């Protein structure tokens, strides 16, 4: 037939079936093989391609363990990333607090200088006023 000349790619949604990609590959290779299937060898032929219930349970258990391991690994990485981010934000927070403390101290120094200059200004205005009164009295 014309199917033998063309290679047909079958893409099946593996996640929607109960078969792993390896099991699907084995089934496809069995279907594509030239072995004739007799009516009384149905269970024998399919038992070669399909796994027993115990084997499927064992494979599923292994798959679940690997999935749980990947999940724990993702969770661990996520937690490590969050911890790193918390540490980085704590460092940044401390730097901002230090900067704020420096600015507040500088503000206090400038405020004291400003108060000193105001008091000197008041004293100079008083002297100037005395000089005007003295000049006016002459």
Q: What is the pLDDT of residue 14?
A: 44
The count of C-alpha atoms lying within 13 angstroms of the C-alpha of 51, restricted to the half-sphere facing its C-beta, is 15
Q: What is the pLDDT of residue 1?
A: 45
At 22, the pLDDT band (50, 70, 90 cuts) reads confident
Among 25, 46, 34, residue whose Cα is nearest residue 3: 34
pLDDT of 63 above 90 = yes
Share of the chain above pLDDT 90, in %: 57
pLDDT of 42 above 60 = no
Q: What is the pLDDT of residue 51?
A: 74
- State pLDDT tens for residues 77-132: 999 999 999 999 999 999 999 999 999 999 999 999 999 999 999 999 999 999 99
Distance from C-alpha of 132 to C-alpha of 135, rounded to nearest angstrom: 5
End-to-end CA distance of the chain: 135
Judge whether 24 and 12 are in contact, CB under 8 Å: yes
- Evaluate the CA torsion angle 83, 87, 92, 94 in order and state its sign: positive
Quick one: tokens of 34?
Answer: 């030239």
pTM for the whole thing? 0.46
Containing 18, the helix (H) or strand (E) segment is: none
Q: What is the pLDDT of residue 34?
A: 59
Distance from C-alpha of 61 to C-alpha of 64, rounded to nearest angstrom: 5
pLDDT of 11 above 90 = no
Among 11, 43, 13, 42, residue whose Cα is nearest residue 28: 11
Domain ranges of the chain: 8-50
At 12, the pLDDT band (50, 70, 90 cuts) reads very low
Question: Of 28 and 74, which is predicted with more confidence?
Answer: 74
Question: Of 32 and 59, which is predicted with more confidence?
Answer: 59
């Amino acid at each position: 037939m014309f199917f033998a000349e063309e290679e047909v790619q079958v893409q099946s949604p593996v996640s929607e079936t109960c078969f792993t990609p390896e099991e699907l590959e084995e089934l496809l290779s069995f279907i594509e093989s030239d072995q004739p299937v007799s009516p009384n060898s149905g269970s024998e032929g399919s038992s070669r391609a399909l796994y027993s219930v115990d084997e499927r349970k064992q494979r599923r258990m292994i798959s679940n363990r690997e999935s749980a391991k990947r999940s724990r690994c993702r969770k661990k990485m996520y937690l490590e990333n969050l911890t790193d981010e918390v540490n980085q934000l704590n460092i940044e927070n401390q730097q901002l607090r230090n900067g704020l403390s420096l600015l507040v101290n500088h503000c206090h120094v400038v405020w004291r200088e400003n108060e000193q200059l105001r008091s000197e200004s008041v004293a100079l205005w008083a002297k100037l006023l005395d000089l005007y009164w003295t000049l006016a009295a002459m």
